[in-house]
Amino acid sequence: MRELLQEVLTLQSDFSSQNTPAMQVRGNLIRNVIPEELRRWRAVQPQALLPFRGRLNVQGRDGTGLKTFVPWVRIRSPEMSPSAQSGWYVVYLFRQDGTGVALCVSHGSTRFDGREFKPRTAEEAASLMAWGRALIRSQAFNFGMVEGVDLGSAATLSKAYESTTAFSKTYAANAVPDDATLAREAERAVALIAELYRAQELGRAPDAPPPELIEADNAVSTVSRPGSTRQSSKGQGFGLSAPERKAVEAHAMSLAAAWLAANGFTAIRDVHAAYSCDYLATRNGVEHHVEVKGTTSPYGKVILTANEVELHRRTHPTNLLIVVHGIDLIDARTKATGGEVTVLDPLVIENCTLTPLSFACLLP
């Protein structure tokens, strides 16, 4: 691998936007040879992604049509980063002047506006970088990474790459480490994106949907596309596993029952197996319907079924929604702990924004 990286760096001095003989060699190295070598490394095996439970693949690009100043080869989860424009990944970015190659933890740097790819806004890039760096900073620094990256290029696309690189470690030309070191550090970089992926799946990244929404979206896709095994194409991942979901739900129910008991409710009954709510409880002699939602994500969005929405409308104002949010998963993600309780007493459905996940369509 060291020789392959070094060869690309040498070819950078012969850069042309056209597909010259030198660029043909560079293109083959970037798109085929280096990815094939990387696929043999432990860094690209599923166990490297723990605690995230997905898979990895490798992709290299040096320009579609015209050649780019900064070619790249990335390691990514196809579920969490379906394209180079979305999600987090580990990527080798080659400096324009050929003086080094950087091992980076980066995020997709552009968006497609229907006509062309444009860099993310400075505000969006800053938000992504602040969140990602806060989560993995200590681990990245532990093996010599620094914040950001310098690609030695003023090109718009190169600057976009720089703006969405959280951490990097640059190997100088003619001083690229041996293959064992490269493989070990690639594996450590993949462990960093595993932490980012897992946090995204828990709904804790900027604009990340709650895992319950991911699961519902994937379930609807499965029903509407029988036989399909693909996950959501939105770069959202898998949601929680069944044991994780069970732990979160049980923890939320426990905290909700404690809140009810501490706030004047009596005759608290768990009825979730038979009703469209979770508890029936009495306050001041009046029976109330209580819905409980537990989530690992921040407060803001939950899944309500059509039956639950109708129940809240019908039973208002003797209806409550208890949301236990920010729950943590511990002990290999098998137990739930923590979380903050927010109560809507009563829940006024008309004050909520309801977004349909699917429609029952009566055909003409």
pLDDT for position 228: 52
Angle, alpha carbons 139-140-144 (nearest 5°) = 120
CATH classification of the domain holding 165: 3.30.930
Q: What gap in Å lies between CA 212 and CA 295, rounded to an integer?
A: 8
In a domain, 108, yes or no: yes
Is residue 339 within 8 A of residue 326, CB to CB? The reply is yes
pLDDT for position 215: 75
Q: Which of 284, 252, 249 is closest to 267 using CA atoms?
A: 284
In a domain, 80, yes or no: yes
Q: Is the dihedral of CA 46, 333, 193, 7 positive or negative?
A: negative
Q: What gap in Å lies between CA 70 and CA 254, rounded to an integer?
A: 53
DSSP string of 243-296, one letter each residue = HHHHHHHHHHHHHHHHHHHHTT-EEEEE-TTTSSSSEEEEETTEEEEEEEEE-S
Same domain as 167, residue 27: yes
Q: Is the dihedral of CA 197, 146, 70, 41 positive or negative?
A: negative
pLDDT digit string, tens, across residues 249-300: 999 999 999 999 999 999 999 999 988 899 999 999 999 999 999 999 999 8
pLDDT for position 204: 85
pLDDT digit string, tens, across residues 300-320: 889 998 999 999 999 999 999
Q: Is 61 exposed, middle or buried (0-12, 13-18, 19+ CB in 10 A)?
A: middle
Same domain as 35, residue 114: yes
Beta pairing class for 340-344 and 266-270: unpaired
Same domain as 312, residue 163: no
What domain range is 60 assigned to?
A: 2-201
Beta pairing class for 146-147 and 165-172: antiparallel
In a domain, 357, yes or no: no
Same domain as 117, residue 17: yes
pLDDT for position 240: 83
* Helical spans, DSSP H, in the chain: 2-11, 21-28, 34-38, 122-142, 156-163, 179-201, 211-224, 242-262, 306-315
pLDDT for position 227: 58
Same domain as 246, residue 185: no
pLDDT for position 233: 43
In a domain, 197, yes or no: yes
Number of separate domains in the chain: 2
In a domain, 358, yes or no: no
Same domain as 332, residue 292: yes
pTM over 0.75: yes
What the block records as the tokens of 308 is: 């639950």
Same domain as 215, residue 119: no
Distances (CA, A) of 44 to 35, 189, 198: 10, 11, 17
Q: Which of 249, 260, 268 is closest to 324 using CA atoms?
A: 249
CATH classification of the domain holding 324: 3.40.1350
Distances (CA, A) of 69 to 11, 14, 76, 157: 11, 11, 22, 9
pLDDT tens-place values along the chain, 364 residues long: 999 999 999 999 999 999 999 999 999 999 999 999 999 999 998 777 776 767 899 999 998 789 999 999 999 999 889 999 989 999 999 999 999 999 999 999 887 766 777 888 899 899 999 999 999 999 999 999 999 999 999 888 899 999 999 999 999 998 999 999 999 999 999 999 999 998 888 888 877 778 788 777 777 766 666 655 545 444 455 678 888 899 999 999 999 999 999 999 999 999 999 888 999 999 999 999 999 999 999 998 899 989 999 999 999 999 999 999 999 998 877 899 999 999 999 999 999 999 888 888 888 9
